[in-house]
Amino acid sequence: MPELIPLISQQEIKEKIREIGQNITRDYKGLDLVVVGVLKGAFVFLADLVRQISIDHEIDLLGASSYEGTSSTGQIVFTKRPDLELKGRDVLLVEDIVDTGRTLAKTVESMQLLNPRSIKICALIDKTERREAQINVDYSCFCIDGGFIVGYGLDYNEKYRNLPAIFNLKL
Ligand SMILES: O=P(O)(O)OC[C@H]1O[C@H](OP(=O)(O)OP(=O)(O)O)[C@H](O)[C@@H]1O
Ligand SMILES: Nc1nc2[nH]cnc2c(=O)[nH]1
C-alpha cells in the first residue's frame, strides 16, 4: 500500500498563492495577460491562482501529458491546444510541477510559434533533482529537491489529484 507523507499544508499553499498572485498583479499591470493552465495537473492551482490576480485577464487551457507512473516517457503528447488568439499577448503558463523540464521546454517551443509578445512561467512546484531542460521559472511557489509528490492536482496513475494538500508518495 503506498504511503503518503505530508509535505506542504493547505495553509502554506494558500498563503504562497496569495503572495504570487499579488506579484503577478503588480508585474502585469497595463499588459494583455492571458493565463494558460497546463492540464491536467494544473487545474487546482490555476483555479486558486487566478482568484488572487486582481487585474483583468483571460484564461485558457492546454493539455500536455508524458508520465506513466513516476517516470517521464520523454514523449510529450499535446491533448489540447489553447483556444484564444495569443499573438501579441502576454502569456503566463501555469504548471503544477517542473521536474525534468521537458514538458515546459516543448510547451514553450510550441507556444512561441503562436507569436505572443511574452511568455513567462508560473509553477506551484519547482523540483530540481531531475532537471534536464534549461527552464527559467519566473514565479515559483515551492522549490524542492526530489521525491514523487501528489495531491492538489498532482497524480500518481490518475489518483490523488483531489487531496487538498501536497504529499510525498512512498511506493
Ligand atoms: O518537467 P517534467 O518532467 O516534464 O514533468 C512535469 C509534468 O508532469 C506532469 O504531467 P503529466 O505528464 O503527469 O500529465 P498530467 O498533468 O495530466 O498529470 C505535470 O503536470 C507536468 O506537466
Ligand atoms: N504527480 C507528480 N507528477 C510529476 N510529474 C513530474 N514530476 C512529478 C511528481 O513529482 N509528481
From 97, 124, 135, mutation site for ligand 2 pocket: most ligand atoms within 8 A of C-beta: 97
pLDDT beyond 90 at 85: yes
Alpha-carbon span 92 to 117, nearest angstrom: 11
3-state secondary structure 36-78: EEEECCCHHHHHHHHCCCCCCCEEEEEEEEEEECCEEEEEEEE
pLDDT beyond 90 at 168: yes
pLDDT single digits (tens) 24-44: 999 999 999 999 999 999 999
Q: Are strands 90-98 and 33-39 parallel, antiparallel or unpaired?
A: parallel
Q: What CATH number should be reported for the domain holding residue 41?
A: 3.40.50.2020
User: Taking the complete model, does pTM exceed 0.80, yes or no?
Assistant: yes
Catalytic residue among 99, 126, 138, 145: 99
For residue 98 and ligand 1, the question of a CB distance below 6 A is answered with yes
pLDDT beyond 90 at 55: yes
For residue 123 and ligand 2, the question of a CB distance below 6 A is answered with no
Q: Is the peptide bond before 40 cis (omega within 30 degrees of 0)?
A: yes
ipTM confidence = 0.98
Q: Which domain holds residue 26?
A: 3-170
pLDDT single digits (tens) 115-149: 999 999 999 999 999 999 999 999 999 999 999 99
User: How much distance in Å is there from the Cα of 148 to the middle of ligand 1?
Assistant: 12
Q: How many domains does the chain have?
A: 1
Q: Which three cell numbers stand for residue 171?
A: 511506493
